[in-house]
Amino acid sequence: MIFGFNAAEVFQIAVEIEENGKAFYEKALAKIADPDVQAIFKELALQEVEHKKKFQELKANLPQQASGSTVYDPNNEMANYLKMMADGHVFRNSENVDQKLSQVKDAVDALRMAIEFEKDSVIFFLSMQDATEEEKGRKFIGLLVKEEQEHLRRLTMQLKKMTH
């Protein structure tokens, strides 16, 4: 259990979330027949791999002091907030992926779950961005947020197409 967040730990959590997102998209393919949704999920799985690589790069390039607390946070408020956001993420761990997948009956269920994943990711990454002092890291996380928002838009459009 992580009690104090630091940049390296936060980036590691982001890596795990992306891994679990990829696993969800790949495993969900077996449960859905709709070719449009399958195409979207295949593409998003590949993009999650790219996001994971970027977070790994960012983590690898963190300065030495980033393994300690990166913001003046005497009451641990930011650390506690980030931990709460991470723990509340739908795909915080791989068990959650399998548990959620067991509830997926069709493409509509899969889309709804993917939308929940992408929303959680946007919120977590925005929280990460707020807690990141280094400008390059902030910009990079901002780009990832925009990509996740685009995923959300595509998934939502597909869901609307299928339910209206």
Q: How much is the pTM?
A: 0.81
Q: What is the rounded distance in angstroms from the CA atom of residue 148 to the CA atom of residue 127?
A: 14
Domain layout of the chain by residue ranges = 7-163
Answer yes or no: are the C-beta atoms of 55 and 11 closer than 8 Å: yes
Q: What is the pLDDT of residues 117-132, one digit of tens each?
A: 899 889 888 888 877 7
DSSP letter (8 states) at residue 92: S
Q: What is the pLDDT of residues 78-94, one digit of tens each?
A: 667 776 777 777 677 67
Q: What is the pLDDT of residues 38-86, one digit of tens each?
A: 999 999 999 999 999 988 888 888 766 555 554 555 566 666 777 677 7
Domain over 7-163 is classified CATH 3.40.50.300: no
Of residues 43, 37, 59, the one with CA closest to residue 161 = 37
DSSP letter (8 states) at residue 30: G
Q: What is the rounded distance in angstroms from the CA atom of residue 149 to the CA atom of residue 144?
A: 8
